[in-house]
Amino acid sequence: MNKVQITFLFLVLSTSLFAREGMWIPTLLDKYSIEEMQQMGFKLTAEDIYSINHNSLKDAVVIFGGGCTGEMVSDEGLLFTNYHCGYSNIQSHSSVENDYLTDGFWAMSKEEELPNPGLEVRFLEYMEDVTDSVMVNTEGLEGFDFQDKIDENIEAIETYHSDDDKYEAVVKPLYYGNQYFVYVYKVYTDVRLVGAPPSAIGKFGGDTDNWMWPRHTGDFSIFRVYADENNEPAEYSEDNVPYQPKKYLPISLNGVQEDDFVMLLGYPGTTQQYLPSEAVEMVMEQSDPDMIAIRTEKLNILSKHMEADPKVRIQYASKYASTSNAWKKWQGEIKGLKRMDALGIKADFESDFEKWYNQNDSLTTIYEGVLPEFERLYVALEDYDRAYNYYNEIVLRGTDIFSLVNYYSQVCKAWDGFTDERKVELRGRLVSEMKSHFKDYDQPTDEEVFVKLIRMLYDDLDPLFLSESFVDLMQKYDDEKLQKKVYQKSVFTDQEKLLNLTNSLDESKVKKLSKDPLMVLFDDLRGFAQRNINMVYSGLNDEIEILQKKYMKGIMDMKADELLYPDANFTMRIAYGKVEDYKPMDAVVYTHYTTLEGIIEKDNPDIYDYNVPQRLKDLYQSSDYGKYGQNGEMPVAFIASVHTTGGNSGSPAINANGELIGLNFDRCWEGTMSDILFDPDMCRNIMVDVRYVLFLIDKFAGAGYLLDEMEIRN
C-alpha cells in the first residue's frame, strides 16, 4: 500500500489515527468522539454541545435558508452566516441605484433592516433514533411493498412529532437506511438583512480564489431573526420583535494558533464515502467532466456579458456564483481522486470485503453477489447517467427562459383540474414568478446561453436520447434561425405581453401558450427525458440504493469494532480537527492563516473582484486595527483539518472553550475529493477569522453598535 492508502485505510475511522475525519451525530458523542475531542484540548462536555434537558450549543446553530448554516451571536436574534449564503438576498435588494453588492449594506438601526420574503431559519429542537418505528411491520416485505411500508411509517412518525404543526419534523436515513433519525425543527420566517460588506470584501477574489488557499475573503453577512411577542415564529410584521435564542455563542478575540483545537457544528449536505469503485469511476470519468463542459460554456457567456454591462453584472451575479461554485469543485474533485488513486483504494477495500465474507458460509450467501451486481448496474446506468446530466444541466438549469417556461408549463398542464378559486391564486403566483424572472433577466445574454447549450445537447448525446422532433428542429435550423424562430418569437421574452396574458389566463390562453415555440420545445425535451431517460435512470438508481444498503450493512458488520460515521445528509453534525498548515505540491508549503496585507497585495482596481475598497486600504495604511489585530497584523482567514462539505457554509468555528473564532466558508481545492475520499494530509477547511468580521463591522462599516449586543471575550 502507498502512503495515502495506509493513512486513509478507506473509510474506517480509528480514533488513535484519524482525529480529523468524520461528521458525527451529536447525540452519540459520548459513545464515539467526546473523549478524543477532550484529549485534543476541548474543555466542554457532550452535554454542553447537545442536550434536550438544558440549553446547549446546538440551540445557537440554525439551518439558514435552503442549504447553509448560521449561528446566533446575541440575545437579540443577531445571526452570522456567510456572505455567499446571504448573497441572493443581498442581490435581491440591489439595483443600479442602490448597488448593495458593490457598496455593501449596513443597517444603522433595527428600523433600517431589510425583510427577505421566503428566507427561513430552522432551530433543531431535538433528534431521536426512530429506526425501530420505521421498520414496524416490514418483516417479510420486499421491493415496492417494503418501501411503501417504510414511507407509511415515516409519514406517521413525522406527523406525530410535528405536534399540530407547531414543529416541522423530518425523518432521514443514515448508513443508507440501516438507521433512521427524526429531526424536529422550529421554523422562523421573519429574517431581516442587517449587514453585508461590499462584494470586493465578501467575495474578494471571486471565482479565481474560490476553493483556493491562501484566501482573503471576508465571507460573512449579518441577519436578525424576529418573532412574535411570545418569542414564537410569525410571518413578517412590523409588530414582531427580535428573537431571544435559548443560546448564543460568545466570541473570542484570542484568535488561533497552529495545533489549536477547532470544532464545527453545522449541517453538512452530502458525502459519499461508501461508494463502490464503479460509482467513483463514473464520477471521475463521466459525470463530473460532462457537467464541467456544459457549465464552462455557460460561464464563458455570462462572464462576457457581465463584464460589458453593470446592470447585467448585478442581474447575473448570484446566478454566476451558483453555477461556478460546483463547476470549480468538480475539477478539484477529479484531480484529487486521481492523485489518491481512488480506484485502487476502492479495489483494495472491496478485495478485503470479499475475504471477510468468504470466511463464513452464511456471510458468503448474503454478500457474494453484491460487488458483481454493482458492476452490472453501473454498466447499465452509464449512458443514462450522461443523458440525465445533460438534460438536467441544460433543460432544467441551463437557461433563464426555460426556468420560467417550466413554471408556466406545470400550471397549464393541470389548468382544467383547478377550481376557480385556485385559478385566481395561480394567476397571482405566475405574475409574481414572472416579475421576479424579468428583474434578473437579460435577453441577449440568455439567448446566447440558450443557443449554445441546446446545440450541445444535440451534438453530444447519442440520437437514442433525443426525440425525433428535436432532431428535426436542429437539422432544420442553424443557430441564428434557432434564435429567431424559437427564442425571439416566444411570448415569454416579452414582459408586457406575458403579463397581460397571465392576468387574463383562461382555457383559451392556456391553449395559446401551449403552442408557444419555447413551451413546445421545453415540453418536448422534458417529456422525452421523463419518458425515456429519467424512468430508467431512477429505476437503476433505486436498485443501486437497495444494493448500497446491503453493502453498507456488510461494511458495518465487517468493521463492527471500529468507528464508522454516517454520510452527511444535511442534518446536524459535529466535525473537529486542528489548525494546521499543509503542503499541496512539491516545494510549496502554506501557513495556516492570512492577513490584510495579502488583500492589499492582490489589489487591482481594474478587476471587480480585486478592487479593494478605499476605506479598507486607508485602515491598512494607518494600521488602525483596534483590539482586533494581533502583533501588528490584521488576521483575515485560517485553515484547519476539519472534515466539511457543502452545507457547512456558515458553520461556526468553535474553540476549545466553546467560543466563536470564525465562520467556515470553503475547502481547499486540493482536498475537494473529501466528499468521496478524505486525505488528512491535504483536506483543509477555510474559515474567516471572527476578528476580521468584527473589525469590518466596527472600523470599516462604522456599525459598532452591533458589537454591543455580543458577548466578546478577550
Residues annotated catalytic, as ranges: 84, 219, 649
Termini Cα distance of the chain: 48
* Burial of 671 (C-beta count, 10 Å sphere; 0-12/13-18/19+): buried
Q: Using CA atoms, how far apart are residues 677 and 280, in angstroms rounded to an integer?
A: 10
DSSP conformation class of 286: I
DSSP conformation class of 483: I
Q: b/e for 83-107, b at 16 or more Cβ within 10 A?
A: bbbbbbbbbbebeeeebbbbebbbb
**Strand duo 121-129 + 221-227: pairing:** unpaired
CB 249 within 8 Å of CB 112: no
Q: Name the phi and psi angles at 547, rounded to 5.
A: -65, -35
* Residues forming beta bridges with residue 590, ordered by sequence position: 582
Q: Give the CA count within 13 Å in the CB-facing half-sphere of 355.
A: 6
Q: Using CA atoms, how far apart are residues 275 and 692, in angstroms rounded to an integer?
A: 39
* Residues forming beta bridges with residue 227, ordered by sequence position: 241
Q: Give the CA count within 13 Å in the CB-facing half-sphere of 698.
A: 16
Cell numbers that stand for 432 in this block: 409574481
- Residue for cell digits 421554523? 187
Residues 6+ apart with CB under 8 A from 108: 703, 705
Radius of gyration of the chain (CA): 26
Q: Which of 177, 238, 276, 223 is nearest to 64 (CA)?
A: 223
Q: b/e for 442-452, b at 16 or more Cβ within 10 A?
A: beebbbbbbbb
Q: Using CA atoms, how far apart are residues 286 and 670, in angstroms rounded to an integer?
A: 20
Output the CA angle 697-701-706, nearest 5 degrees.
Answer: 45
Cell numbers that stand for 3 in this block: 502512503
Q: b/e for 175-187, b at 16 or more Cβ within 10 A?
A: bbbebbbbbbbbe
DSSP conformation class of 565: P
DSSP conformation class of 663: E
Q: Using CA atoms, how far apart are residues 659 and 255, in angstroms rounded to an integer?
A: 10
Q: Using CA atoms, how far apart are residues 33 and 14, in angstroms rounded to an integer?
A: 11
Q: Using CA atoms, how far apart are residues 265 and 262, in angstroms rounded to an integer?
A: 10
CB 666 within 8 Å of CB 218: no
3-state helix, strand, coil in the chain (%, to 5): 50, 15, 30
For 132, other C-beta atoms within 10 Å of its C-beta total: 8
Cell numbers that stand for 685 in this block: 477547511
CB 118 within 8 Å of CB 129: no
CA distances from 231 to 69, 87, 173, 402 (A): 21, 27, 32, 41
